[in-house]
Structure formats: C-alpha cells, structure tokens
Amino acid sequence: MGVFDGQVALITGGGSGIGLASARRLAADGATVVLAGRSAERLEAGAASLRDDGADVRTVTCDVTDESSVHAACAAAADAGRFTMVVANAGTGAGAPFHLTSLDDWNAVLATNVTGAFLTMKHAVPHLAANGGGSIVATSSIAAVRTHWYMTAYCVSKAALEMLVQQVADELGRVGIRANAVRPGLVPTDISTMLVDTPSIRDDYLDQMPVGRLGTTDDIAELVRYLLGPESGWVTGTCISADGGHHLRRGPRLGPLAPTLEG
C-alpha cells in the first residue's frame, strides 16, 4: 500500500524536468499522476517513461495561460480519481537587460508563471475541497529572493508566485487545503540550459552555494513529495529553498550574457 493510493495529482509542466521527476516520485508512492503541458509529444514521452516503472499516468494537453484549457485539465484530473494534489510547475523565462525587455516578453513570462499558477490553483480548489482537502505545491526559484541580471520578468514573476501561495494558504486552510512552494537553485532543466552551459556563470552559481553542486530534479521532487504528503500536514504558506544554501549569499553574476542579450 502506498501513501497516495487512490489519490490523483495534477502536474503542470509535467512532461520533463522537475514536473516529470515529481510525477515519478509521487507515482512511486501510489498516486495516479496526470501530466499537463502544451506539447502532446513531450507529455507522451514522459508518460511512457513512467509507465515503464509501473505508474498509473494520464496526460492532458494544457496551456496554463488559457482558462478553459486549465479548467479542462482539472476536470480530467478529477475524472481520474480522488483529486487531492497539485504541482503548479509550468514556467518560462526571458532574458534581456531591464530597459530592453519587451512588453511581449514581460507579459509572456507573467502569464505563464503567475497567471498560469493562479488559474491552476483556482480550478483545482473546488475539486480538492470536495474531496476533503488537499495540497498544492508551486515551483518558485532562487530568483524570487535574489536578483538576477537580465531576468527581471522572471524574478518578479517568482516573487509574485510566492505571495500567491501565501494567499491561497491563508484563505483555504479552513477547508483543508494547504499551499506551499519549493524554491530551487540552479537545476539543469530545459529552462536553465543557457545558465548551466556557460562555464563562468555556472561556476559563479556554485561559488554561492555552501553545498557546492548543481541540484537535480530528484532533489526537488523529494521536497515536492514531502509537501504533498501527510508528513507535512501542519505546514502551509511556506516556501522552502532547495538550493545548496544559495539563498544565504548573493545572486549570480550574469555579465557574460551581456554581449548576447545587449548586442
């Protein structure tokens, strides 16, 4: 018997990276996982890797910036069983000096990282409440609390996401819904490729980590699992850093990106 037997988790941005690692970890404890994302091909590839491990996994194509799409994804999770868990993981970024950041890029980052999380939580909450409560975990970032040159829209979006989590936790605890966030440091994923693959930037990140190594998607998935599970039943409204201690020091020096972004 798994801790999550009979329960369903909806995971946005579930086709790869932290989302897929979280799905694998939850499925190992018996959860049915519903992977949501924009790319049907990526979702199916991720689902296939989970099914190879014996997971009960479904997929639903979903653009978190589209309310009707999110509503349908939450309905699909409810159709899969007792829907009690949400991982609001879908995210995107853009890079440019502050004064060269286009309005389109600004709006696109906030639409996915803030509005997308808002819509995911909004449409999941009635299902969770109807099932006696549940747990929501959002994926934030070290960039929510430490400035990153050329990443203004991303930093602002993640700071806003953390306040959204606190609002949800405060309002909905009375119906048994908890909301928390994880705050990863530098973890190799699709969204962090430029940072990981630029040696001087990667090394500067590592210099700011008392535990001097890059994170892994499994590092974050373990924390997601804890925040969704009964072990954290008295934990809500928090954002827990998993960053090798990076939050204790300064933000990264992203100057080496200047020729690319300012050119």
Q: Are β-strands 134-139 and 82-88 bridged in parallel, bridged antiparallel, or unpaired?
A: parallel
What is the enclosing helix (H) or strand (E) of 139? strand 134-139
Could you give the angle at which helices 217-228 and 17-28 cross, rounded to 10 degrees?
50
- Rg of the chain over CA atoms, in angstroms? 18
- Nearest residue to 26 (alpha-carbon basis) of 52, 46, 55: 55
Q: Judge whether 108 and 92 are in contact, CB under 8 Å.
A: yes
205 flagged as catalytic: no
Q: Tell me how far the alpha carbon of residue 141 is from its chain's centroid.
A: 9
In total, the chain counts a number of residues equal to: 263
Cα torsion through 74, 121, 119, 89, rounded to 10: -90
Is 68 in contact with 39 (CB distance < 8 Å)? no
Active-site pick, 150, 154, 205, 226: 154
CA distances from 95 to 80, 98, 194 (A): 38, 9, 10
Q: Which residues are catalytic?
A: 154
